Amino acid sequence: MLNHLPSEVKIIEVGPRDGLQNEKTVLDTQTKLEYIRLLSKTGLKTIEATSFVRADKIPQMGDAKALYEGVQSLSLDSSISTPCLVPNLKGLDLALECGVGEIAVFTATSDTFNMKNINASVDESLTRLAPVIDKAKSEGLKVRGYISTVFGCPYEGETSLENLFKVSHFLEKAGCYEISLGDTIGVGHPVLVKNVISELDREFDISLFAMHFHDTSGTALANILTSLEYGIKAFDSSSAGLGGCPYAKGATGNVATEDVINLLHSMGVSTGVDMELLTEASTYILSSLKKHSSSKFYNAYLGRKS
Amino acid sequence: MLNHLPSEVKIIEVGPRDGLQNEKTVLDTQTKLEYIRLLSKTGLKTIEATSFVRADKIPQMGDAKALYEGVQSLSLDSSISTPCLVPNLKGLDLALECGVGEIAVFTATSDTFNMKNINASVDESLTRLAPVIDKAKSEGLKVRGYISTVFGCPYEGETSLENLFKVSHFLEKAGCYEISLGDTIGVGHPVLVKNVISELDREFDISLFAMHFHDTSGTALANILTSLEYGIKAFDSSSAGLGGCPYAKGATGNVATEDVINLLHSMGVSTGVDMELLTEASTYILSSLKKHSSSKFYNAYLGRKS
């Protein structure tokens, strides 16, 4: 164990989209832009900016167009990618209008979860996604795929490896450059993570996958450690652990970027991210949201400074 | 990795002593006794009860005598051990008067930490401990040893493996049946944990050691996972994560028993502890302390029920 640590790992910062989307306090566009600007100074190379969804469905993302125009006016370094979530062709068209260079599409391995989330079964969701990915690719966009409920579903419990294979094959063939496997309710544990990756390893190049762990049960870093050992080199996380868990009141959602980066850096795995600058971005957005961080490392880091 | 998980692991519950000791709100003896009674119903077999220290030094432990008499009046199942911390001969004599059956003694690998904590260097601390352990053993008591700052010191930073070997050899020869290695400030990480255990494995039977991780950086479960892989089968933890970190304001101290047990149970490692009963004990003591839990799993568990 720990004989296969990579020298470098990619962090996909999802705070401005996945994080904020699960925060009740709706922020104005300028605040979100300043958060993205601060994040862009940290060394993070992928910062998920927003989601082109219906404003009545997710008010926090209601300003996607203005937000993305603001991101463009920041003139970020060309090495920084700012993908946007797109649920359907309408969302894609909006994203194209705004000059988005990378999109993310999403589905899940659980039919019940998908029905409640997007009113489509797993199979139907793939039928819907096909033209979205096709069009995005033909327009020259990079496409990333999200698969939710890979380690468990809030409605169905255990989820199907068969569906995971089906969806992964579909997304790969459709042209996604990376597939992010989501532990939507934070029930993944190291043995399950090992088993899922080992199964995928039989049919896929494992470098196709990123892991998206929620820290709802406190197991995210143990799961990341396990994933590293089995060849995963890309992880989604949100600064300060923004975004709660909609399935358990007061519980933690996305694993915090600070916790992930501290784990990696302490083991000698580089991420290119500056912890001090990252905590500054987190402090800014936490104060805008008037909330505390769920990140143990962030709290200790700030506590030691005070 | 994860090919060497044990079928069973021992949990040493340190909430009533190490946890409460670091809580500012001083509780009355009856409240602490009720907490211990609730913990004793969970399946936990080792519950650290109190510390025979000077009341002016640690007010929370000022009622050690009354507390332990209360523990005896609970008539706990004979399979449950309720060790007490003892800093010196005076503390030992008090413990003996109360009929304590097991004590714990403590030192550290850092001279600076020991000087500030007990006004003795590492070597001096061993000279002081020798007669305490001798007398305890001759009186038929079981003795457990704590070594603090094994993975880092708040004053010295990195600490010495040489001192760890010296102290471990001393405690083993003196007759400690178990030695608990403390990550006092929560800076341990999996690579360091692996290295420390691998070094110890060259000179000791590794089953002599328990791990005492603090979750200050959120890495405790990743460290426990690593420890399991390298043969450790005993872990200290405090229910609900009681006890903060005196070295970083607002930061987490002891890893929460709920988080540890959830990790273990989800991977099929048994502990004999009932999660529902454990959270009831935690809820009781949290409400007495008027504080929230630092345990991610506890918060999610309660959140899902509400």
Secondary structure of residue B68 in the 3-state scheme? helix
The catalytic site residues of B sit at 245
Cβ within 8 Å, pair A250-B302: yes
Q: Which of B2, B297, B302 sits opposite A190 (nearest CB)?
A: B2
pLDDT in tens, A231-279: 999 999 999 999 988 888 889 999 999 999 999 999 999 999 999 999 9
Report field, pTM of the whole predicted structure over 0.90:
yes
Please give the pLDDT value at position B164. Answer: 98
Please give the pLDDT value at position B305. Answer: 86
Strand pairing partners for A252?
A244
Q: Which of B249, B267, B303 sits opposite A248 (nearest CB)?
A: B303
Please give the pLDDT value at position B3. Answer: 85
Alpha helices in B139-186 (DSSP H): 161-174
Cβ within 8 Å, pair B299-A251: yes
| Rounded Cα distance, A111 and A154, in Å | 11
The CA-based angle A212-B298-A214, given to 5 degrees, is: 5
| Rounded Cα distance, B130 and A146, in Å | 60
Please give the pLDDT value at position A246. Answer: 87
Residue of chain B whose alpha carbon sits nearest to that of A221: B222
Disruptive mutation site among A219, A301, A306 for chain B (greatest number of B CBs within 10 Å): A219
10 Å CB burial of residue A78 (0-12, 13-18, 19+) is exposed
Contacts of A219 in chain B (CB under 8 A): 221, 259, 262-263, 266
Cβ within 8 Å, pair B219-A304: no
- Which residue's structure tokens are 């579903």? A153
Contacts of A230 in chain B (CB under 8 A): 1
Nearest chain B Cα distance for residue A2, angstroms:
7
The CA-based angle B166-B172-B173, given to 5 degrees, is: 90
Interface pTM, i.e. ipTM:
0.97
Q: Where are the beta strands (DSSP E) in chain B?
A: 10-13, 46-47, 50-51, 84-85, 102-108, 142-148, 178-183, 209-213, 234-237
Q: Which of A191, A263, A302 sits opposite B222 (nearest CB)?
A: A263
| Rounded Cα distance, A114 and B76, in Å | 50
The DSSP code for B239 is G
Would you write out chain A's pLDDT as a tens digit for each of its 306 residues?
Answer: 888 899 999 999 999 999 999 999 999 999 999 999 999 999 999 999 999 998 888 999 999 999 999 999 999 999 999 999 999 999 999 999 999 999 999 999 999 999 999 999 999 999 999 999 999 999 999 999 999 999 999 999 999 899 999 999 999 999 999 999 999 999 999 999 999 999 999 999 999 999 999 999 999 999 999 999 999 999 999 999 999 888 888 899 999 999 999 999 999 999 999 999 999 999 999 999 999 999 999 999 999 988
Secondary structure of residue B27 in the 3-state scheme? coil
Cβ within 8 Å, pair B1-A215: no
- The answer to whether A13 and A281 have CB atoms below 8 angstroms apart is no
Please give the pLDDT value at position B181. Answer: 98
Q: Which of B191, B218, B221 sits opposite A297 (nearest CB)?
A: B218
Please give the pLDDT value at position A1. Answer: 82
3 state SS for chain A: CCCCCCCECEEEECHHHHHHHCCCCCCCHHHHHHHHHHHHCCCCCEECCEECCCCCCCHHHCCHHHHHHHHHHCCCCCCCECCEECCCHHHHHHHHHCCCCEEEEEEECCHHHHHHHHCCCHHHHHHHHHHHHHHHHHCCCEEEEEEECCCCECCCECCCHHHHHHHHHHHHHHCCCEEEEEECCCCCCHHHHHHHHHHHHCCCCHHHEEEEEECCCCCHHHHHHHHHHCCCCEEEEEHHHCCECCCCCCCECECEHHHHHHHHHHCCCECCCCHHHHHHHHHHHHHHHCCCCCCHHHHHHHHHHC
Pairing mode, strands A46-47 and A50-51:
unpaired
Please give the pLDDT value at position A305. Answer: 86
Please give the pLDDT value at position A135. Answer: 98
Please give the pLDDT value at position A244. Answer: 84
| Rounded Cα distance, A38 and A281, in Å | 5
Cβ within 8 Å, pair B229-A295: no
Length of chain B counted residue by residue: 306
Cβ within 8 Å, pair B251-A303: yes
Contacts of B226 in chain A (CB under 8 A): 1-2, 225
Neighbours of B300 (CB within 10 A): 27
Q: Which residues of chain B have pLDDT under 70?
A: none
| Rounded Cα distance, B92 and B69, in Å | 15
Nearest chain A Cα distance for residue B130, angstroms:
36
Nearest chain B Cα distance for residue A252, angstroms:
7
| Rounded Cα distance, B298 and A271, in Å | 31
- Which residue's structure tokens are 């600064």? A239
- The answer to whether A281 and A37 have CB atoms below 8 angstroms apart is no
- Which residue's structure tokens are 């104005």? A28
Disruptive mutation site among A4, A195, A201, A225 for chain B (greatest number of B CBs within 10 Å): A225
Give the count of alpha carbons within 13 A of A3, CB side only. 3
